[in-house]
Amino acid sequence: MPHITVIGGGAAGYTAALEGRKRGFGVTLYEKSQLGGLCLNQGCIPTKTLLEHIHMHRSVKTAAENLIWKNVPALNWADSRAYTQRMVEELGYGLRYQLKKAGVEIRVEEGVDDGSSDYVIYATGGRRIRPEVLSGCAGRVVDVTELLSLKELPERAAVIGGGVTGVECAQILHSFGTTVTIYEKENRILRNFDTECVDYLEKCLCADGITIKKQTDLMNLTEPLIICCAGVAEQENKKNGRTFCIGDCAPGKKLASDAMWEARAVIAGIAGEKNWKQGVEPSFAYTCPAISGVGMTVAQARAQYNHVTVGYGYAYANGRSKVQGLEGGFVKTVADQESGRILGIHMVGEHAENLLGEATALIELECTVKQLQKMIHPHPAICEILAESVGQL
Ligand SMILES: Cc1cc2nc3c(=O)[nH]c(=O)nc-3n(C[C@H](O)[C@H](O)[C@H](O)COP(=O)(O)OP(=O)(O)OC[C@H]3O[C@@H](n4cnc5c(N)ncnc54)[C@H](O)[C@@H]3O)c2cc1C
């Protein structure tokens, strides 16, 4: 059996290590800092824990408006931060246990390719971008990965970048009492998402009190804290048959979900499975309301197909959403009228997170409108909004 050296213990590296052991390979995993990398320690898990507190707080406030509870206290940064740190620690212990149990040799040190392994997988993460213009704001700028290390939040903050991390970060800061402005260099935020869904989310964010400035040059920022959410730089792929590059240090999307897929695909390739084709990639932001999408937008579909139809399902018409007090938003399904094939599904609303799994499966498996219409969905259930979106097509 081959031996694999994995350099980097983030989402990409630890998935490769576990996957390698499942297939019986010898695996040594090098991590020079914290197992779990960005996703566990500063990225996905901390931000989603904090956003979960915001979602929960809003649910309780909705319940209070409906007179189930009264006197809902405000969110508290110190408490939420402490809870988040506990989650990160517990998941970190769990990960270490899982790796050890699987028989991965863990080395807490700088990894090197000394030539002794059959294969080397680089999963060393990305280099975060900081716009040059911010060099004049020294002392006030932190990267979004440092969010959890802030003991106190300021009265005002600037968030640089209106991508997923920027918008999520802005909502976190705003919900804990900071007045936030998002600065986006392009003319729209969340460029990878359906425009109609983004417009809806943008209205909600602005109604909450978050300011969004587009096509700005970042000169004269007056906020005492500037959080940089400008993303990760593109890097070259070191793939050469014996060495591979996966996750944020490889070209492509900079998401843990992609990093994990690439890890599984590389290990499958080493095991001799050559048919791992990259499937559709879901996009999501766990904002309030959440936004997600998979497959083609209407514009992309119209560029390829002559007759494109679009159907909608609305949360306000869904019984389960109504009783949960989550009546905002919709599901938008894009289909090719001739073949009936579903080409894209885009969502905004509290359901957008939960329905993304089903939506991804429908697109990946090339499901048609007719097939979805024939499926039984549970009732009353949020997923009925998705089924409803093809009801009239
Ligand atoms: C705020 C934020 C929120 C995010 N939320 C989401 C989300 O909800 N969903 C999602 O899918 N993605 C999310 N992402 C993106 C996701 O976190 C990254 O895409 C993912 O963590 C990349 O994993 P990776 O393993 O490639 O790199 P990393 O997690 O960066 O891991 C690389 C590891 O390699 C180690 N390393 C580097 N060089 C060496 C060396 N020479 N020797 C030994 N070790 C080394 C580093 O210490 C590090 O631990 C978020 C990112 C941020 C910043």
pLDDT per residue over 360-369, tens digit each? Answer: 999 999 999 9
- Please indicate whether residue 250, judged by its CB atom, sits closer than 6 Å to ligand 1: no
Residue ranges per domain, the chain? 3-126+234-270, 132-228, 289-388
- Please indicate whether residue 165, judged by its CB atom, sits closer than 6 Å to ligand 1: yes
Q: What pLDDT score was predicted for residue 325?
A: 79
Q: Do domains 3-126+234-270 and 132-228 have the same CATH topology?
A: yes
Ranges assigned E (strand) in 17-86: 26-30
Q: Which atom of ligand 1 is nearest the CA belonging to 258?
A: 11
pLDDT per residue over 220-236, tens digit each? Answer: 899 999 999 999 988 77
Q: What pLDDT score was predicted for residue 326?
A: 81
Mutate to test the pocket of ligand 1, among 44, 190, 234, 287 (most ligand atoms within 8 A of CB): 44
Which has the minimum average pLDDT: 152-161, 277-286, 304-313, 381-390? 277-286
Q: What pLDDT score was predicted for residue 372?
A: 97
Which of 7, 75, 90, 76 has its CA nearest to residue 41? 90
Q: What pLDDT score was predicted for residue 220?
A: 87
Between the CA of 340 and the centroid of ligand 1 the distance, in Å, is 39
Binned at pLDDT 50, 70 and 90, residue 99 comes out as very high
CATH of domain 289-388: 3.30.390.30
SS3 143: strand
pLDDT at 245 over 90: yes
Residue 248 vs residue 62, higher pLDDT: 248
Q: What is the mean pLDDT of the chain?
A: 95
pLDDT per residue over 34-66, tens digit each? Answer: 999 999 999 999 999 999 999 999 888 887 777
Q: Which atom of ligand 1 is nearest the CA belonging to 30?
A: 43
The CATH class, in words, for 3-126+234-270 is: alpha beta
Residue 15 vs residue 133, higher pLDDT: 15
Which has the minimum average pLDDT: 89-98, 195-204, 278-287? 278-287
Nearest-5° angle of CA 227, CA 12, CA 263? 145
Between the CA of 11 and the centroid of ligand 1 the distance, in Å, is 6
Q: Which atom of ligand 1 is nearest the CA belonging to 256?
A: 11
- Please indicate whether residue 166, judged by its CB atom, sits closer than 6 Å to ligand 1: no
pLDDT at 97 over 80: yes
Average pLDDT over every residue of 262-282 = 93
Write down the CATH superfamily of domain 132-228.
FAD/NAD(P)-binding domain (3.50.50.60)
Residue percentage of the chain with pLDDT more than 90: 85
Binned at pLDDT 50, 70 and 90, residue 217 comes out as confident
Ranges assigned E (strand) in 185-307: 211-214, 225-228, 243-245, 283-285, 291-295
pLDDT at 183 over 80: yes
Residue nearest to atom 17 of ligand 1 (CA): 39
End-to-end Cα distance, the chain: 53
